[in-house]
Amino acid sequence: MFTKKIYSASQMAWWTRYETFLFLGMSVFWVAIYYFLDLHWLKIPWTPLALIGTAVAFVIGFQNNAAYGRIWEARKIWGGIVNTSRTFGMFVQDMLTNEHTEKPFSEKEIQSEIKTLTYRHIAWMTALRHAMRQPKSWETAINDKTNQEYQDNAHPPELDSTVEIDLKPYISDKDMEYVMSKNNKQTALLYLQSHHLKKLKEKGIIWEFSFLELESVLQEFFTLQGKSERIKNFPYPRQFATLNHFFMWMFVLLLPLALVPQFAEIGVDLMENHPIIGDIFVWFSIPFYVIVAWIFHTMERIGRTGENPFEGTANDVPISTIARGIEIDLRQNLGESNKDIPVQFPMKYDTQF
């Protein structure tokens, strides 16, 4: 546990290293011109800066709470997809029978229908996760330099494939042609599921009550899909996100004008008893400024990174791993061999996608 905490702290420091070097350079610059050019008039009182810092802290806290709420809601939605998918797999296997058919179908035909419905559901999850990974204009966290460095080595599997390639193993050519002609492919797949269930009901393979139960499960999939799409397509309000970003930088840029003179005044008080320490005491403002600026900037950046839980960064909801886990469960319960089932997506740098 202790090693893991150290590793996480080092990751955070590496993630924010460019900003840390920037803050270090800014603080050295301000202290140098204050110390060597004797610019004692270049200062602002603490009171207005404290008011700005308090406002920025409140807005950052609000942003982080909202971002966490979006992440947690997204995780609950996909948790619902997990549970409902397992229910669907169970219903399909137990509700497709010859009990109400006029002419019995062979066991092979029944199993073929079960497999088709199960595979089409896997296709639905595949289409949904691809839709959630589509970039939006407001998803800008990935543009940060360190995030780009990370994605060069570890990124969602959707970036290495296309939805058409990933759907091909699960649906027929006819279904593929229909789905690819639609903008919302995941919705098209649920329509196909409903049409298929209706035909099975008409053949008697599915009892009418069972048909209603299965339709209610599809309705729940529509609900979960809509919730997921809502988070994807409606961003954290930009007036909060943008202004918060500007306010944070305003505070960080003004902070040295109050912090450096404060340390200089303390140094003057020390001159009488400790002349050497008093003379250089103003330089001790550098680490304090770096720490304060780093905290405000990092907290604001964490909020920006968490605004869009499907963007594909390391801190997002691992929808690809979740979908693949459901697929493995469903196909194992179909009786398929493990060698025929795709393996789970690998973790990269302790991150699931």
Number of Cβ atoms within 10 Å of the Cβ of 301: 20
Residue tagged 């997204």 (tokens): 74
Q: Tens digit of pLDDT per residue, the chain (353 long)? A: 333 343 466 777 778 888 889 999 999 998 898 888 877 777 888 888 889 889 899 988 888 898 899 999 999 999 999 999 999 999 999 999 988 888 888 899 999 999 999 999 999 999 999 999 998 888 777 777 777 777 777 788 888 899 999 999 999 999 999 999 999 999 999 999 999 999 999 999 999 999 999 999 999 999 999 999 999 998 888 777 788 888 899 999 999 988 888 888 888 778 778 888 877 888 898 999 999 999 999 898 888 888 889 988 878 899 999 999 999 999 999 999 999 999 998 887 777 88
Backbone angles phi, psi at 40, to 5 degrees: -70, -20
DSSP line for 213-258: HHHHHHHHHHHHHHHHHHHHHSPSPHHHHHHHHHHHHHHHHHHHHH
Backbone angles phi, psi at 348, to 5 degrees: -130, 120
What is the pLDDT at residue 8?
Answer: 61
What is the pLDDT at residue 99?
Answer: 86
Task: Return the structure tokens found at 247.
Answer: 């306010």
C-alpha angle with apex 61: 56 to 66, nearest 5 degrees?
Answer: 125
Task: Return the structure tokens found at 50.
Answer: 């404290």
Residue tagged 């899909």 (tokens): 225
Nearest Cα neighbor of 41 from 33, 50, 53 is 33
What is the pLDDT at residue 1?
Answer: 34
Q: What is the pTM of this model?
A: 0.87
Percentages helix, strand, coil for the chain, rounded to the nearest 5?
75, 0, 25
What is the pLDDT at residue 267?
Answer: 81
> Which CA distances in Å does 202 have to 93, 104, 198, 272, 326?
18, 13, 6, 98, 29
Q: DSSP state, 134?
A: S
Helices (H) and strands (E) in the chain — how many of each? Answer: 13, 0
Treating both helix axes as pointing N-terminal to C-terminal, what angle do 145-153 and 2-15 enclose, rounded to 10 degrees? Answer: 120
